[in-house]
Structures are given as C-alpha cells and as structure tokens.
Amino acid sequence: MLNSGGSGTPWTRCGQVATERRPPVSGRAIAALDGGVRVIDPLGVPVERARAAIESIHDRQCVARVIDDGVSGEWVGERPELGLTALAMFAGTMTLVDERVAGRARVGFNPQDAKHHAARDRSAGFCVFNDMVWAALELERQGLRPLYLDWDIHAGDGVEHLLADTGIPTLSIHGHSTFPLDPATIDVAAAGEGRRHTRHDSARAIYKWDLDVGDGDEHLLQALEEARAIIDAYRPGVILLAAGADGLVGSPLGTGTYTQAGFVAAAGVVAELAARHSEGRVLVGGAGGYQPRTETPRAWANVVGMLHAWLDAADADLSLDAAALNRAATATTAEVTR
C-alpha cells in the first residue's frame, strides 16, 4: 500500500508530508506482478475511526500529545504534520485489515507498517503508533487466528509487551547487541558474551531468537526453521510479518549480514507456512530499513514478490512440492526485482 495523497480531507497535509516518489524497485515489482497488485490509498479511513483504533491500544494522553500537539520523542519540537503522518501510517494498516476481513486481499503490504517498538504510553525507535498490535487484536476479533513474526534486526519489543498474555503468538528474530537492548527480549549475560541464544516463554506464546553480531542468512533461516514447529502447532489463520530490511549487510543501523537472497528464501518459508495454514493470508509491514534508495525497497520487493510468486505457483500446479515451488518462485522473483 502506497499513500497517493489527496485533497479536500483532514488527511491532506499528512498526505503531502508522507508521500514520496515510489521507490523504483517497488515500482518494478508492482509492474512485474502483472495486475496481481492493487495500490490502495489509506486516506479513505475516517480520522475519527483511526484515532479511536489508536486509543484502543495506546494511552489517550500520549495519543493527544502526538496528534493534537505534534509532540513525540521521535522528532524535535511541535510538529503537527508528523503527528498526522503517524496517524496515516496507522490507517494504512487498518485499510489492509479491512481488505483482508472483506476477502479482497490475500497478501497485503504496507511499507510504513510494523511500528513494532511503540509502547502503550510512549513512542520509541522511530515508531509512534503500534499498528501491528491493533491488527492482531482486530483480526482475532474477526475470527482469524493471527500470529506475529518479526525478522527486523531490532527486537519487536513493543509488540511483545502489548500482546503478552493475549494468547496471540509473537515470534521475533533479532540481534542481541543492538537497540532496544530490552532485558525482556535478550539474555543480557549471553549477549554480553557474544552468544546467540533463544529466550522463549511458551506459556505466554512469546518466542525470541537472539542472533550474534555479524550473523547472516544461515542464522536467519535456521531460526525460521525452528519457528516452523511453533507455527505448525498454532495453525494461524493469518500471519503478520514485520519484514524489516535493516539486517542487510551494510545497513547503517544493523548488526546482521543478511543478503537479498536470504530474504527471498525467508519469504519462501513464510509462503509455505501461509499456504499450509492460512490459505496464503499474510499481512506484511516494512518495519526498519535504512538504505531507502537502494537495498531497502529491493528487499521489500523481494519479500512481497516471493510471497506472491510462491502462492501463485502453488495455485497453478497443486502437484508441486515445497522445493519445486521455491525454485519456481525464486526464478520469478529474481525477474521481478533485477
């Protein structure tokens, strides 16, 4: 979902601030998917509805500071236009959920989605309003069994804390020696010794894989393989994926060495699990990415392209096994994002 702006609505100023030229790789991905993608303007969500949704998961005084006063720890001074931008980002995820509930979308993507550090009463880590938490709770209310999976290099601590004890599983694969350094998401002693580790609390459906500095595709994919058993046991009706690109090699705010090929392979795992359990339903958020003109949009295009290609290949030939589907979809994705 890309914001196309607009005029004559309370969203106008926000749309003007939030909208940029579409990243070239994402644009090529949309074109190459040959009609399989619709671009939807999130500004159709009434402001009052979006604000009520935000207030259902965040402290009302915190929401008022951001939207009414333009004050947040994520920017300097009073910036009302940025408060409205944060509201529009959240509305994009609401639109995706609406499309999913109405049965009009199988795979949905909001590049401005997955503000996974935002806490109930404060913003954090460039994240103001926690859209994935609202999406999970709303999809559960609508009768779907959501599961949250996050491979951003920074732990999805806000989502974990806000969904704790709801029974909705949260799975986070992240670096142990970078922000947010939350003792709830890492074993501090193990991290201090430079040891990758897990920190699971199965009774609360919280699962964490803490990767070491410099870990790459092998370690990301190994964690996903371990996550399979958890996902298979839960049998989600929809997968919420925070597809952060900041674990890529060379990312200025990351500690990983993932590659584009690694993200394609990871998306293939998600597609296989979604096909098995959720009829292909995946809601993807961009989360973090700090190479905005190059590697970040390419990574997002690779992930979304692979999900579409894998699921389309499965629809076209029900006899193909997972390995064959991975080969077919990887070839298509390489064509999409080259």
**Under a CB-based contact definition with an 8 Å cutoff, are residues 279 and 239 in contact?**
no
**Under a CB-based contact definition with an 8 Å cutoff, are residues 184 and 206 in contact?**
no
Predicted confidence band at 248 (pLDDT cuts at 50, 70, 90)?
very high
pLDDT of residue 16: 23
For tokens 């009463």, the residue is: 121
pLDDT of residue 28: 55
Euclidean distance between the first and final Cα of the chain, in Å? 21
Backbone angles phi, psi at 170, to 5 degrees: -120, 125
Fold classification of 106-337 (topology level): Arginase; Chain A (3.40.800)
Predicted confidence band at 10 (pLDDT cuts at 50, 70, 90)?
very low
What is the arithmetic mean of pLDDT over 109-131? 95
Residue type, 258: Y
Predicted confidence band at 4 (pLDDT cuts at 50, 70, 90)?
very low
Tell me the two tokens of residue 49: 């509805």
Kindly tell me if the per-residue pLDDT of 213 is higher than 50: yes
pLDDT tens-digit map of 214-245: 999 999 999 999 999 999 999 999 999 999 99
pLDDT of residue 274: 97
Averaged pLDDT of the chain:
88
**Under a CB-based contact definition with an 8 Å cutoff, are residues 328 and 309 in contact?**
yes
pLDDT of residue 1: 38
Identify which has the larger pLDDT, 5 or 220: 220
pLDDT tens-digit map of 13-51: 222 222 334 545 556 556 555 566 788 888 889 999 999
pLDDT of residue 326: 82
Residue type, 177: S
pLDDT of residue 317: 80
Kindly tell me if the per-residue pLDDT of 98 is higher than 70: yes
pLDDT of residue 36: 66
Strand residue runs (E) in 49-111: 107-110
pLDDT of residue 323: 83
What is the arithmetic mean of pLDDT over 164-187? 93
Tell me whether residue 250 is exposed, middle or buried, using C-beta atoms within 10 angstroms of its C-beta: 0 to 12, 13 to 18, 19 or more.
exposed
pLDDT of residue 5: 29
pLDDT of residue 293: 86
Rounded Cα–Cα distance for residues 66 and 336 (Å): 39
pLDDT of residue 307: 95
Query: Model pTM greater than 0.85?
Result: yes
Predicted confidence band at 187 (pLDDT cuts at 50, 70, 90)?
confident
pLDDT tens-digit map of 263-281: 999 999 999 999 999 999 9
pLDDT of residue 176: 94
**Under a CB-based contact definition with an 8 Å cutoff, are residues 288 and 244 in contact?**
yes
Backbone angles phi, psi at 248, to 5 degrees: -65, 145
